[in-house]
Amino acid sequence: MVLSPATLSSLAKLKAALQDEKQAAKFEHLVAALIGRLVGVGVAVAKTGFQHGGDAGTGGRQGRHLRIECKKYADTTALSDRELLGEIDQALANDPAMEAWVLAATRDVPEQLEDMLAQKALSVGLPIVIVDWKRDGVTALAALCASAPDLVELLFSAEAASHAAALQPVVGDAIEHLRRDFNAWTLGFESLRTLSHGQLQEVWTSPRASAAALNQNVAGGATCKLIARPSVSAALEAWWSGPAASDAPATVLGADGVGKTWATLAWLVERANAQPIVLLIASSAIAKDLASISVTSVKRFLAARLYEVPAGFATLSIGYDAWSICLSDPLTRVRF
C-alpha cells in the first residue's frame, strides 16, 4: 500500500513522540494496556528491579501467559541480543507455562537479532512476538497505538494520541494481523509446524529415524527404488481438498507389505507446504497408550504426542498395521 504524505508525517511524528518521552515507564504502561485491550486480558506492569524477564505480563489471567519486554530506544541505541536472550530464559524459569514472550520497541529490531530470537524460539519451544518500528510502511507498534488512541492519550500524551488517531484509516489490516498474532490458538503454531515438518523429512530420509518413529523402514527419500503410487496420491489429494475441509479423517487400507505407510508419507512430503502440523505415530503406540476410544482419551493421547514436539494442533498421520481408528464420519478410505 502506498502511504500518503499525511500518513507518513503522522507516522514520523508518532515515532518521535514515543522516543522523545523521557519516562520509559510511560511506554511500559502504554504497551501493557494496548496489548491487554487487544487480547481482552488485563496486563500488569512489573515493579522496578528484577522483573522475571519482562516489564509486564498477564500473570495467568484467563489462562493467558504472556510476558512483555519494552524498549523505549532511539534509533541510535542498539538492542542487546545477549540481554534479550537472557531475559527470555528468566521469563521461562519464572513461568514454564508461558505461551509467548513479546518484545515491543520504539525502533526497528535488526534482521540479525530477529534471526537470533527466531532460533531461540525454536530451541526452547516458545513463540516470540516482535512489535517494533520498521523503517517502511505501517509498523506493528504504530498499528498497536492506532488501535486505541484513547489509551495513548490517557497513559502517554495527547500529542501521540492525535498522531495515532490520524493513522486509523490505514491500519485496519495491520491491527487484524496483530490480533491474530496474539490469539492463543495461533501462538507457536508456525514454530511447531516447522519442527513437525522437520521430523517428517527426517523420517522420510533416514532409515534409523524411520525405525525409531514408526518401528519400520519407510524412508522412501533414502532409496532410489521407490515405486510411485499415483492412485493413492490422487485419492488422498481428493480427500484433502474435499472431505478434510469438514474435519473428516482418512484411512489407508491394504494387505501387509503393500506400501501403505510409504505411499502416505510420500504424499505428505510432496504436499508438505499445504499441511498444518503433522504427527507421525506408530500404530503400536496407539495400542499401548490409547486404552479406550473417547473424546477425553483421544485428547490426552494427542496432547502427549504434541508435548513431544512440543505443543499445538495437528493433522494426525498414523502408520497402520492390521487395524485402524475411525475418529468420526464420514470417513474417506483409500484402498490398495
Q: Model confidence over 95-108: pLDDT tens digits?
A: 887 888 999 999 99
Residue from 186, 187, 191, 192 nearest 66 by CA? 187
How high is the pLDDT of residue 327? Answer: 35
Could you tell me if 38 and 109 lie in one domain?
yes
Could you tell me if 116 and 145 lie in one domain?
yes
Could you tell me if 172 and 225 lie in one domain?
no
Which band of pLDDT confidence, cut at 50, 70 and 90, is reported for residue 315?
very low
In the listed set 163, 186, 209, which residue is the last one of a domain according to the structure? 186
pLDDT at 51 over 70: no
Stretch 315-319: mean pLDDT, rounded? Answer: 43
In the listed set 157, 186, 215, which residue is the last one of a domain according to the structure? 186
Q: What is the distance of C-alpha 229 from the center of its chain?
A: 33
Cα–Cα distance measured from residue 266 to residue 205, given in angstroms and rounded to the nearest whole number = 11
How high is the pLDDT of residue 164? Answer: 96
pLDDT at 184 over 80: no
Could you tell me if 19 and 49 lie in one domain?
yes
HSE of 287, CA atoms in CB hemisphere, 13 A = 9
How high is the pLDDT of residue 9? Answer: 95
Could you tell me if 254 and 165 lie in one domain?
no
C-alpha cell at 150: 484513547
Could you tell me if 233 and 317 lie in one domain?
yes
How high is the pLDDT of residue 115? Answer: 93
- The CATH number of the domain holding residue 77 is 3.40.1350
Cα–Cα distance measured from residue 34 to residue 143, given in angstroms and rounded to the nearest whole number = 10
Each residue of 192-238: pLDDT tens digit?
788 888 889 999 999 998 888 888 888 888 887 777 888 888 999 99
How high is the pLDDT of residue 108? Answer: 95
How high is the pLDDT of residue 321? Answer: 34
How high is the pLDDT of residue 230? Answer: 87
Could you tell me if 313 and 204 lie in one domain?
yes
Cα–Cα distance measured from residue 29 to residue 287, given in angstroms and rounded to the nearest whole number = 52
Could you tell me if 194 and 119 lie in one domain?
no
Residues whose CB falls within 8 Å of the CB of residue 71, separated by 6 or more in sequence, listed in order: 79, 103, 104, 105, 106, 107
Could you tell me if 148 and 205 lie in one domain?
no
Write out the residue range of the structural domain in which residue 12 sits: 5-186
Could you tell me if 32 and 179 lie in one domain?
yes
Could you tell me if 137 and 21 lie in one domain?
yes
| Secondary structure class of 280 (helix, strand, coil) | strand
In the listed set 131, 152, 186, which residue is the last one of a domain according to the structure? 186
pLDDT at 45 over 60: yes
Lowest mean pLDDT among 76-90, 183-197, 247-261, 317-331: 317-331
Each residue of 11-32: pLDDT tens digit?
999 999 999 878 888 999 999 9
Stretch 143-160: mean pLDDT, rounded? Answer: 96
Each residue of 61-73: pLDDT tens digit?
887 888 999 999 9
* pTM higher than the cut 0.85: no
pLDDT at 292 over 90: no
Number of domains in the chain: 2
Which band of pLDDT confidence, cut at 50, 70 and 90, is reported for residue 122?
confident
What sections of 206-251 are H helices per DSSP? 207-214, 230-241
State which amino acid sits at residue 214. L
pLDDT at 256 over 50: yes
Residues in the chain: 336
How high is the pLDDT of residue 312? Answer: 35
Could you tell me if 156 and 255 lie in one domain?
no
